[in-house]
Amino acid sequence: MSETPIQWVWYGSLTLALRGVEISRCIADLQRRGITLRDVRVRRDHAVVTVSLRAFPTVYQVCRQHRVKFRIEARHGAPFWRRRLWRRKAFALGAMVFVCAMYAMSSVIWRIDIQGAADEDGVAELRSAAHDAGVYVGQWRSRLAEPAVLAEEMLKHASNFVWIGVQTTGSVTTIRAIPKIAGSRAAAEEPHNVVATRPAVILNVQATRGRPIVKPNQFVRPGQVLISGVLAEGEPNVPASGKVLGEVWYTSNVTIPLTMIQQGLTGETTTRDYLCVGSLRLRVWGFKEPQFTAVYERDEGTEWHIGQFVLPIQWQRATLYEASPSAVVQSVAAAKRQALLTAERDVATQAGGDSHVLGQSVLHERVERGTLYETILTRVEQDIGAPAPIPAPAPEAGNNTSQTQG
- The beta-strand segments (E) located in 172-240 are 172-179, 192-196, 200-209, 211-212, 219-220, 225-228
Q: Which of 337, 404, 403, 321 is nearest to 376 (CA)?
A: 337
324-383 pLDDT, tens per residue? 888 889 899 999 999 999 999 999 888 877 888 999 999 999 999 999 999 999 999 999
Query: What pLDDT does 406 receive?
Result: 36
β-sheet bridge partners, residue 310: 305
> Do the Cβ atoms of 364 and 329 come closer than 8 Å?
no
Query: What pLDDT does 367 receive?
Result: 93
Residues 10-38: what's their mean pLDDT? 86
Query: What pLDDT does 10 receive?
Result: 81
H/E run at residue 367: strand 356-368
What residues contact 336, with CB distance under 8 A and at least 6 apart? 362, 365, 372, 374
CA distance 154 to 277: 33
Query: What pLDDT does 121 receive?
Result: 87
Query: Among 90-94, 117-121, 200-204, which range has the highest average pLDDT?
Result: 200-204
Residue 400 has pLDDT above 70, yes or no: no
> Do the Cβ atoms of 114 and 123 come closer than 8 Å?
yes
CA distance 406 to 403: 10
Domain boundaries, the chain: 5-79, 111-179, 191-244, 254-258+330-388, 261-326
Query: What pLDDT does 187 receive?
Result: 56
Query: Among 25-34, 178-187, 242-251, 312-321, which range has the highest average pLDDT?
Result: 242-251
CATH architecture entry for 5-79: 2-Layer Sandwich (3.30)
Residue 200 has pLDDT above 80, yes or no: yes
Greater pLDDT, 223 or 188:
223
Greater pLDDT, 403 or 330:
330
Read off the amino acid at residue 280: L
> Do the Cβ atoms of 200 and 220 come closer than 8 Å?
yes
Residue 293: which pLDDT band, with cuts at 50, 70 and 90? confident
What residues contact 79, with CB distance under 8 A and at least 6 apart? 11, 12, 53
Q: Which of 22-31, 262-271, 392-401 shows the lowest per-residue confidence on average (mean pLDDT)?
A: 392-401
Q: What angle do CA 177, 179, 180 make, to 5 degrees?
A: 145
> Do the Cβ atoms of 16 and 70 come closer than 8 Å?
yes
Q: Which of 273, 292, 328 is nearest to 5 (CA)?
A: 273
Query: What pLDDT does 216 receive?
Result: 94
Query: What pLDDT does 404 receive?
Result: 38
Q: Which of 300, 287, 291, 284 is nearest to 269 (CA)?
A: 291
Residue 294: which pLDDT band, with cuts at 50, 70 and 90? low
CA distance 334 to 353: 27
> Do the Cβ atoms of 271 and 300 come closer than 8 Å?
no
The dihedrals phi and psi of 9, each to the nearest 5 degrees, come to -70, -40
> Do the Cβ atoms of 328 and 260 come closer than 8 Å?
yes
Query: What pLDDT does 2 receive?
Result: 62
End-to-end Cα spacing for the chain: 137
pTM of the model: 0.46
Residues 75-91: what's their mean pLDDT? 81
Residue-averaged pLDDT of the chain: 85
- The beta-strand segments (E) located in 293-332 are 294-301, 305-306, 309-310, 313-329
Residues making up the chain, counted from first to last? 406
Environment class of 276 (CB within 10 Å of its CB; exposed 0-12, middle 13-18, buried 19+): middle
Residues 219-237: what's their mean pLDDT? 88
Give the count of beta carbons closer than 10 Å to the beta carbon of residue 59.
22
In the CATH hierarchy, which top-level class contains the domain 111-179? alpha beta
CA distance 2 to 33: 11
Q: Half-sphere exposure (CA, 13 Å, Cβ side) for 14?
A: 16
H/E run at residue 264: strand 259-277
